[in-house]
Amino acid sequence: MKEIKVGLIGFGTVGTGVVKILQKNSKLIESRMGAKVILKRIADVDLKTDRRVRLRPGVLTRKAEEVIKDPEINIVMELIGGIEPAKTFILQAIRNRKHIVTANKALLALHGDEIFRAAHQCGVDVNFEGSVGGGIPLIRSIKEGLVANRIQSIFGILNGTSNYVLSKMTDEGKGFKEILKEAQQKGYAEADPTYDIEGIDAAHKLTILIRLAFGAAIQFKDVFIGGISEITPVDIQFGREFGYRIKLLAIAKVDGGKIEARVHPTMIPEKHLLSTVGGVFNAIYIKGDAVGPTLFYGQGAGQMPTGSAVVGDLVELGRNHLIRASGRRVPLLSYQPSSIAKVPLKKMDDVVMPFYMRFSALDRPGVLSKISGILGKNDISIAAVIQKGRQIRGAVPLVMMTHEAKEKNVHQALKEIDRLGVILGKTMVIRMENELE
């Protein structure tokens, strides 16, 4: 039987998952691939931790270069994460004509241009299914399954940690900090949860998806980012009263030749499929001009789900290598390099959508009239109002849903409103999505 020799750099959680899958399902993978995967070398700085997998002697090494420079190894999996030394290792491996599998979303979002350019020059493949949506076959679906479609919009729950926190806050009515602490204890959130909670991780992933879906040379810094740490149980409850759920949504749309790219807490209709995605799960809702709406759902992270994606990539690159199709079948970023264009971004100020607003107002006559007057002056019309007597720190929550309004106008109006004497605190604003019917 034919063999394909591979190496692994980074023997952490996902790396260990990959080894487990390659061992447990070796016969199955052979029966599909028609070749045997030989995991020749694994490099990690930590040789001591017991990963509970058996390896032949001599497989483990502390030196990544023993993987990168091994002339027998055709495919290198980079699973250390982070920018350096991952980037250097990948570029070295590419120059040594190794095909690359990685799940490193931060690296691809920030330095993808450099990596894909090098890979293109050297004629090697770079696969990265595990970088977005864990084990969900999403990237492959965008690059191949939906290839006939002009992708119109993407709405993704791309971060499991923040979805877990919001889902738990919704189900149990507890506050952000309490649930985050629980999530940390259960291993669903890291000690420093900034990347997950503040939307940065989701924005890394959205950057990758936008490049693939729209053929747009977008940069990570172009994505507007907002996190979930300000969301309160009160807002979740009011959202429910309007028939909405709050999700940290990664949104990309093409509208009038411009791209919208943003990650922020978003109210979406409770009947929409995305509202039912709970816990650490991920889901991506994609609209194409021919296929219409589609949804892909699964575990967005974790040892075995991400391992599943990495091994899937490994098999694809192995197949390409065996029939000498490497670097020639599907373009690395879905579009031929010459077709990838700078597409203008829509400024966040110009984005139009409905808004949820919760004002902390004194319970006095005329407040509603003052607020709605300022909104109206700024071209913002009100779709629904809830005013209920529950006092929070001396103020009454006055909650509104607007019709479609311009982001810029909302900021302008709130600046005025928050200066009113009858307004006691900063107004809470949550963007809403009305393209999810």
Contact flag: residue 242 with a second copy (CB under 8 A): no
Q: Write the interaction track for a second copy spanning residues 325-364; mark x where CB under 8 A is met and - where it is not.
A: x--xxxx--xxx--x-------------------------
Contact flag: residue 404 with a second copy (CB under 8 A): no
What are the φ/ψ torsions at residue 269 (nearest 5 degrees)?
A: -60, 135
How many other CB atoms are found less than 10 A from the CB of residue 217? Answer: 14
Residue of 297, 355, 356, 359 interacting with a second copy (CB under 8 A): 297
How many other CB atoms are found less than 10 A from the CB of residue 434? Answer: 13
CA separation for the pair 218, 402 (Å, rounded): 31
Decide whether 148 or 191 has the Cβ nearer to a second copy.
148
Alpha-carbon dihedral sign for residues 183, 230, 437, 401: positive
Q: Residue 252 to residues 41, 141, 202: CA-CA distances in angstroms? A: 40, 17, 12
Q: Choosing from 40, 143, 205, 247, which is the catalytic residue?
A: 205
Hey, which residues between 179 and 218 contact a second copy (CB under 8 A)? Answer: 215
Decide whether 82 or 292 has the Cβ nearer to a second copy.
292
CA separation for the pair 404, 397 (Å, rounded): 22
Question: CB 128 → a second copy: shortest distance, Å?
Answer: 13
CA separation for the pair 81, 436 (Å, rounded): 34
CA separation for the pair 209, 141 (Å, rounded): 11
Q: Write the interaction track for a second copy spanning residues 32-61; mark x where CB under 8 A is met and - where it is not.
A: xxx---------------------------
Of 47, 50, 87, 92, nearest to 67 (Cα)? 92
Helix and strand numbers, DSSP H then E, in the chain: 14, 18
Contact flag: residue 29 with a second copy (CB under 8 A): yes
CA separation for the pair 320, 33 (Å, rounded): 11
Decide whether 227 or 302 has the Cβ nearer to a second copy.
302
Contact flag: residue 17 with a second copy (CB under 8 A): yes
CA separation for the pair 67, 71 (Å, rounded): 9
Hey, which residues between 128 and 167 contact a second copy (CB under 8 A)? Answer: 129, 134-137, 140-141, 144-150
Question: CB 84 → a second copy: shortest distance, Å?
Answer: 29
Contact flag: residue 319 with a second copy (CB under 8 A): yes
Alpha-carbon dihedral sign for residues 4, 8, 13, 19: positive
> Is 415 annotated in the active site?
no
Decide whether 7 or 331 has the Cβ nearer to a second copy.
331
Give contact residues for a second copy (rule: CB under 8 A). Answer: 17, 21, 24-25, 28-29, 31-34, 129, 134-137, 140-141, 144-150, 215, 271, 273, 276-277, 283, 288-299, 304-305, 307-309, 311-312, 314-316, 319-320, 323, 325, 328-331, 334-336, 339
